[in-house]
Amino acid sequence: MTVQGDYARCIGRELATVRDQLLAYPDTASIWAVPTGLPNSAGTLALHIAGNLRFFIGGKLGGSGYVRDRDAEFSLRGVERDDLVRQIEAAADEVTRALATLDDSQLDEPFPVEVGGVRLPTSRFIGHLATHLAYHLGQMDYHRRIVTGMNTSVGGIAAAALADR
């Protein structure tokens, strides 16, 4: 397995868990609930996760042509659950395809765009994107538990999902 293949597998597992989180809500309205003290709904997090990965990995590394509207990621409301799931699945597809095209030499090169005033090596920036995704996935998990009252996991972080088959 290559480093980029490992990244693709980890990010793919996390995106599958985002999908499972969305499907665990009883309805679209609960996905968009914003309880007191929480900064974002699960819908907002899903849009942000999809937009972030589609732009940075799909667009910048994979040449998908994805045009990001970051403001919309945080301002749209009420997007149907099926549409959110489709956006997460599109992100997973773009990540898989883009990372499969990278060769090892590209991982040490600077990422194609500056982010936060710095240009990190591509490998390190992909690692950043993976941990950024995991951070928001954790927020989504707690959001679902608070909004629905369900204290069960969707079972998404099993190491077995990363094992060679």
pLDDT tens per residue across span 10-51: 999 999 999 999 999 999 999 999 999 999 999 999 999 999
The rounded distance, in Å, linking the Cα atoms of 47 and 91 is 10
Q: Whose CA is closest to 21, among 155, 159, 128?
A: 155
pLDDT tier, 87 (very low <50, low <70, confident <90, very high otherwise): very high
Which domains occur in the chain, in start order?
Answer: 3-162 (1.20.120.450)
Q: What is the pLDDT of residue 1?
A: 52
Q: What is the pLDDT of residue 152?
A: 86
pLDDT at 80 over 70: yes
